Amino acid sequence: MGANLGDRQGALRAALAAMDRLPGTRVQRVSALYASAPVDAGGPDYLNAVAELATTLPPLPLLQALQALELDAGRERPYRNAPRTLDLDILWFGDESIGTPELTVPHPRIMERAFVLRPLSDLAPHRVTAAALEAVALQAIRMLEGSGWADRQSGLDAPEK
């Protein structure tokens, strides 16, 4: 998940709360919050995080629900890699491989982007190798806050300790 226009952190928190309200869907965990420059695009820095969802929705209906959340957040698609108020992607869907015109899972550019790999490694270190992190080491990215950023004002309950 990412945003580089408007209230970026607010948009990500609102998206987490909205995803948690999708039918049969719960946000399980959220990575730390990262800032990074746009890749292959212009505009302000992005805020990025990765959320782990548990859902009974099939992959395509989940994608459609996420795209509806993007639209609700004011997402426009005037051109490829345009700045955006909200970007929600499906990185993995369990162990499924999906290759349709609408959806490719695993996401085809995971291994090319530090803004995906760093937060993903917070939640699923077994999916991110040291070699993958080294391959994107020159892409500037910095952690802004630990995973607790998502608990404030998102509507998600903080996990019990």
* 87 DSSP 8-state letter: B
User: pLDDT by residue (tens digit) across 89-113?
Assistant: 999 999 999 999 999 999 998 999 9
In this predicted structure, the answer to whether residue 114 has a pLDDT above a threshold of 90 is yes
pLDDT at 42: 74
Mean pLDDT of 12-32: 97
CA angle 90, 83, 60 (to 5 degrees): 25
Helix (H, G, I), strand (E, B) or coil at 62: helix
pTM exceeding 0.85: yes
Provide the annotated active-site residues.
75, 84, 87, 89
Q: Pinpoint the alpha helices (H) of the chain.
A: 8-20, 59-72, 114-123, 130-135
pLDDT at 152: 64
Measured CA distances, 156 to 1, 13, 110, 140 (Å): 16, 9, 26, 29
In this predicted structure, the answer to whether residue 161 has a pLDDT above a threshold of 70 is no
In this predicted structure, the answer to whether residue 153 has a pLDDT above a threshold of 60 is no
Alpha carbons 104 and 14: distance in angstroms, whole number = 25
In this predicted structure, the answer to whether residue 79 has a pLDDT above a threshold of 80 is no
Q: How confident is the model at residue 147 (pLDDT cuts 50, 70, 90)?
A: confident
pLDDT at 160: 37
